Amino acid sequence: MTNPKEHSSSQPECFHCLESIPLGFIQTVEYNNHLQPVCCIGCQAVAESIISSGMTDYYKFRTTAAGKVQELIPEQLLMFKSYDDADIQEDFIHQSGELSEVLLSIEGISCAACAWLIEKQLLTLGHITRIDVNTSTHRAMILWDKSNLKLSTIIEALVRIGYKAYPFQPDIEEAQKQQVAKSYIRRLGVAGIMTMQVMMFAFALYFDMFSDMEDDFEQYFRWISFVLSSPVILYSALPFLTSAIRALKVKQLNMDLPVSLAIFGAYIASTWATVFNTGEVYFESICMFTFLLLLGKYLEFRARLKASEFTSNLQKLLPLTARIVEGFQEQIIAAKKLKLNDIILVKPGEIIPADGLVMEGKTTIDESMMTGEHEAVAKVVNDQVYAGTTNHDGVVKISINQLGTHTLINQIVTLQNKALASRPKLAEITDKVAQWFVATLLVVASITAIYWYGIDPEQAFWITISVLVATCPCALSLAIPTALTCSVANLTKKGVLIKKAHVLETLTKIDSIAFDKTGTLTEGCFTIKKSHYLNDNYDGQTILALASGLEFHSQHPIAKAFNFDTSSIGLFDDISVETGFGIKAIYKGQTIAIGKNGWFETLKLPVQVVLYINEKAIAAFELEDKIRDRADKLITYLKNKQFNTHLLTGDPSQAGIALAKKLSFDDVKIGCSPEQKQKHVANIIKQNHIIAMVGDGVNDSPVFNTAHLSIAMESGADISKNTADIVLLNSDLSSIEHLIEISHKTRRIIKQNLALSLIYNSAILPLAAMGMVQPWMAVIGMSASSIIVITNSLRLLKPF
Amino acid sequence: MSIIYVLIPIAIIFVIIAIAVFFWAVKSDQFSDLDKQAHSILFDDTEIKNKTNKKKSENNDDTSSL
């Protein structure tokens, strides 16, 4: 555990968020009778409200810094109010008797101290019966009295201590996963507790071999072991049996079949031995086996559950509310109540709730979540706008022409779901091994039974059972889950989330990789490529400071390229945005403006942005979307490994071809719609290639389900992260290299594990068939082979 | 030694109770977030009360000075 306060450098840090304090900002808060500096008014307000309500423990025990607090604008407060609307609430509030239950997804939870802070803060509101904050899913379940406390009040209370919250509805798939996780824990608990008891009696029975025990006691202990192990076998081990039967029904043999044969075969034989007081009992072995196997499977499942929880916490694509205009009145209603031809008003920064035509006003719209292109698109009267895109700078009235499933965004989602149903699947190595194993086992067991039946019918049954127990595929069935768990843990540490079980195995078979351009190979945001200074009276530093100071007030994606130090300049007056041109203001009596080339004076330079002072061009900037640092290295690596590389971009310009040439891609397709991307990938698959797709936008999500494997960037759209098999948390392309390396290493370890366990099983099989194996020998052999396999898997945890 | 004929069944009853408690804990989401529970011992519940008491006494002082 590291204390964030220890990271302090010579520069003063904000007491709340630990970020550096901008020069000239000298606000403080009082904590433990000392004045502590803060970096902004937002952090100050939050820190004061935390300290004044007596929750200073938060600062004492937190393990990570709090997020920087953003001040709320009145528009957002209005949004919170809309959560109190009954129409909107029915989507995410469940009524249980008098009380209501809601799940809030909370941004900014970073450690256990946050959970404590949130619980404390909300309980002071009263009328809350129960609150449960989960720090790994970043959600809070709240059970409260709706009639006395509004949901918006709860959300506002969270904002006051620096957390952004919004109501959340988990999808069906995730709810099912949670159920599976719970049932794993229950089965594991029963197996663990009961195995301990059974082992205790087993030891008593072991000692019986060295010193004679009274027959009554021996029989009594056997009965007790039977009673205690029955729940383990009939409850905890049941999923193995059902899975084996399910596979048999579709005429397949899977790994669960030999497992169930061993567990249930030995259980029935031991029960027989107990009831009729003959033979041997194996209760402790099968209980231990069940427990270990469940543990391995649960750990693997949990690693994937955590990854999928991370991405399912994402905001809905479309806003819940819309601002409808009727006559001259505007009114906020639930977005799902909108009808065709309704007129809605969309303000700057808002997300458009439905497809429609612009009726009035002009604006620029960020359609990046659809197209992946971050350059905003200008829209005037009669232009089509799409649900889910973000309005930038103008206020527009929109007449709705498509709703619900007919909107473009929902059509993309439908496309994606269709692709999922027909997704190619590769046979998994486990099942292949299992088929051989089961076949051999059954043949040997039946030969043993028949052979011994001829020689000694009395012994035949017991020797056959000992064959089943001795060949119990304990190490074999641990070989794969343990290796996968260790690799997934290693990858998670590197910021790579694995969401599907097949990923590591599929990765080793891949021979082609397709990339999206904007946001994947490039950073998806603009940086200054070249600056032209046109007036000697202003030096570069002042020009950049002025440009940054002005662009700070702009929502346009280009504005992000200008984030230079503005401490040398003063404040702007009369800031105004001119839609389609840029932004201007008065500074020290002069009109200063920044915007597109040709706003005032047209320059014959290939520049996108020009800075004007009193309508004279002072400086001009060439911008570009920078290629990610590691892109070059990654493509070279893939070339060396004989991968085919494809570039599929939605951008129709020549930039894609230029980029493909620069990075020497094998193949490039430009101007692709989501369907065309799917088609290209499907074609590649038809040529017997196994392909992975790397992308980030909404337009990539359908193709994600067409490719064998999909990788999304953390910086990408929520929906693509939700669909992808793998999410790169640091959006670092070199992770892909690491991913491929580790998948090959995992495969090597799995093969070693399988070989080791098969050696043990094939060595003991003939001995058991000859009736030469004592139960204790089988137990020692089984444990030793399992330990060897687990230790081998642990090697994957080592970073390399 | 025949006492074990009674003691072991009693022990089994305890085990059953333990499992019942465990099932209840799983059902009420106590295993969904293991990080938070581990840290919860660090936090005091009493501090708020102290503060409010202090505030009350401050308020009293204020009124007395008025």
Summarised one tens digit per residue, pLDDT across range A96-109 is 778 888 888 887 77
Closest residue of B to A187, CA-based? B23
Tell me what pLDDT residue A790 has. 86
CB of A725 closer than 8 Å to CB of A709: yes
CB contact under 8 A, A227 and B12: yes
What does DSSP assign to residue A20?
B
Tell me what pLDDT residue A75 has. 63
Give the minimum alpha-carbon distance from B10 to chain A in angstroms, rounded to a whole number. 12
Mean pLDDT of all residues belonging to chain A: 81
Query: How far is the C-alpha of A710 from the C-alpha of A688, rounded, in Å?
Result: 18
Higher confidence at residue A206 or residue A472?
A: A206
Tell me what pLDDT residue A238 has. 93
Choose from B36, B47, B56 for mutation: most chain A CBs within 10 A. B36
At residue A710, the 3 state secondary structure works out as strand
Higher confidence at residue A219 or residue A471?
A: A219
Query: Backbone phi, then psi, for A627, in 5-degree steps?
Result: -70, 140
Nearest CB neighbour to A61, from listed B18, B27, B43: B43
Tell me what pLDDT residue B45 has. 61
Choose from B33, B37, B53 for mutation: most chain A CBs within 10 A. B33
Closest residue of B to A302, CA-based? B32
Choose from A218, A219, A224, A298 for mutation: most chain B CBs within 10 A. A224
Tell me what pLDDT residue A426 has. 59
Nearest CB neighbour to B23, from listed A53, A186, A227: A186
CB contact under 8 A, B47 and A61: no
Residues of A with CB below 8 A from B26's CB?
182, 185-186, 189
At residue A150, the 3 state secondary structure works out as coil
Query: How far is the C-alpha of A255 from the C-alpha of A473, rounded, in Å?
Result: 9
Tell me what pLDDT residue A191 has. 95
CB contact under 8 A, A135 and B26: no
pLDDT band with cut points at 50, 70 and 90 for residue A1: very low
CB contact under 8 A, B39 and A116: yes
Query: How far is the C-alpha of A745 from the C-alpha of A641, rounded, in Å?
Result: 15
CB contact under 8 A, B39 and A136: no
Closest residue of B to A183, CA-based? B26
Higher confidence at residue B61 or residue B41?
A: B41
| Rg, Å, chain B Cα set | 25
Using a CB–CB cut-off of 8 Å, the residues of B that contact A are: 1, 4-5, 8, 11-12, 15, 18-19, 22-23, 26-27, 29, 31-33, 35-36, 38-40, 42-44, 47-48, 50-52
Higher confidence at residue A125 or residue A21?
A: A125
Non-local CB neighbours of A436 within 8 Å, separated by 6+ positions: none
Tell me what pLDDT residue A188 has. 94
Non-local CB neighbours of A706 within 8 Å, separated by 6+ positions: A419, A423, A678, A681, A682, A685, A693
CB contact under 8 A, A193 and B1: no
CB contact under 8 A, A61 and B35: no
CB contact under 8 A, A134 and B48: no
Tell me what pLDDT residue B17 has. 95
Is the per-residue pLDDT at A310 higher than 90? no
Nearest CB neighbour to B35, from listed A54, A112, A186: A112
Tell me what pLDDT residue B53 has. 43
Residues of B with CB below 8 A from A185's CB?
26, 31
- ipTM over 0.90? The verdict is no
Sheet holding A667-669, edge to edge: A496-498, A726-728, A709-713, A691-695, A512-515, A644-648, A667-669
CB contact under 8 A, B44 and A224: no
Tell me what pLDDT residue B48 has. 47
Residue with tokens 């004592």: A774
Choose from B39, B47, B50 for mutation: most chain A CBs within 10 A. B39
Give the minimum alpha-carbon distance from A161 to chain B in angstroms, rounded to a whole number. 16
Q: Kindly report, residue by residue over A13-45, the tens digit of the pLDDT.
A: 778 877 777 766 777 888 877 888 887 777 787
Query: How far is the C-alpha of A122 from the C-alpha of A105, rounded, in Å?
Result: 15
CB of A225 closer than 8 Å to CB of A283: yes
**Quick one: how far is CA A269 from the chain centroid?**
46
Residues of A with CB below 8 A from B38's CB?
112
Is the per-residue pLDDT at A305 higher than 60? yes
> Which of A112-121, A174-183, A367-376, A452-461 has the least mean pLDDT?
A367-376
Which residue spans within A601-736 are E strands per DSSP?
A: 609-613, 616-627, 644-648, 667-669, 691-695, 709-713, 726-728
Tell me what pLDDT residue A580 has. 67
Q: Kindly report, residue by residue over A676-730, the tens digit of the pLDDT.
A: 888 999 999 899 899 999 988 777 888 888 888 899 888 777 777 878 888 888 8
Choose from A119, A186, A219 for mutation: most chain B CBs within 10 A. A186
Residues of A with CB below 8 A from B39's CB?
61, 111-113, 116
Count of Cβ atoms closer than 10 Å to residue A789 Cβ? 27
Residues of B with CB below 8 A from A61's CB?
39, 42-43
CB contact under 8 A, B22 and A57: no
Choose from B10, B32, B34 for mutation: most chain A CBs within 10 A. B32
Give the minimum alpha-carbon distance from A714 to chain B in angstroms, rounded to a whole number. 24
Is the per-residue pLDDT at A753 higher than 70? yes
CB contact under 8 A, A54 and B47: yes
CB pairs under 8 A between A and B: 84
Closest residue of A to B53, CA-based? A54
CB contact under 8 A, A182 and B27: yes
